[in-house]
Amino acid sequence: MVLLLIITASHQQTIKADSKINDYILQNRIKPAQIQNQEGTFSVWQGYRYGVGHPEGIVVHETSEPNVTAQQFTDRFNQNWPTLQTYVHAFVDDNQILNIHNTDYTVWGAGPTANARFIQVELCRVSSYDAFARSLSNDAYYIAQKLIQYNLPDVAGQTVLSHKQTSDMWHETTHQDPNYYFSTWGYDMDQFNALISTYYNNLKNHGDVNWQNPNVIKVDDPKNSFVPIVSFKDDGSVYTVSGRALANDSSWYTDQTKQLNGVTYHRIATNEWVADTYKI
């Protein structure tokens, strides 16, 4: 029987197993861009419903226009917002995070009710898998940083919402982003929330989005559908445990290691160990 339970350490966030893009971001330890403050021309300085400096969360948008950079959108909005009657706090692409309006004050991006509550960030469309991953990393980093800045919890659907969610809740806009754009990459808002949570917890607890707990290992056997485990006998030799194994691509908390014949084994239960050769 393959064990399906994933044991994780305190503060260790588990990305959804079916999120290959999140795995790509984390395994490659993609480093987000720094947030650049580039105050724009939006001249409406209005506090949130609970006052200046009191946002209640963040709305996630996407631009719906391919291959236009964060800087290009910033320039366009700064020139045309009085005509467009719309503005956001930030634009994010695969290279830059541009904060263009002080997040202590509201903007016009998702209808009156959402505007009075939330910071709003636009994700720019890109055309390659790696660029999409990097843009997600930048967007998740911006969102996690803003939640921490305003001492807000990370709660999907409450402090982090898609534009679609605000449209469905208050019916003041009809926009459905970023759902369709995400779907073109085999991605969804649940997976993005998982990435945001990983960044949020790692930043809050360790100051680094790519912090990795040395006591948590991820295992996989590319040649089989499961990872074997062993037990140690009293004489120090090992035998393969029958009827039990670890699921491929699963994470486990380990508190001890042992060496035998040049192989390191990691303890994942009282007398159950997995060879270092399966660690990924």
pLDDT digits (tens, 9 = 90+) for 166-204: 999 999 999 999 999 999 999 999 999 999 999 999 999
Q: Would you state the structure tokens that stand for residue 238, as one six-digit string?
A: 């090992």
Residue 250's pLDDT is 86
Euclidean distance between CA atoms 102 and 107, whole angstroms: 9
Question: Are the C-beta atoms of 229 and 238 separated by less than 8 Å?
Answer: no
Euclidean distance between CA atoms 83 and 197, whole angstroms: 37
Alpha-carbon dihedral sign for residues 157, 116, 179, 72: negative
Reply yes or no on whether the pLDDT at 2 is more than 60.
Answer: no
Q: What is the mean pLDDT of residues 26-33?
A: 93
Closest to 47 (Cα-Cα) out of 110, 127, 144, 119: 119
pTM of the shown model: 0.78
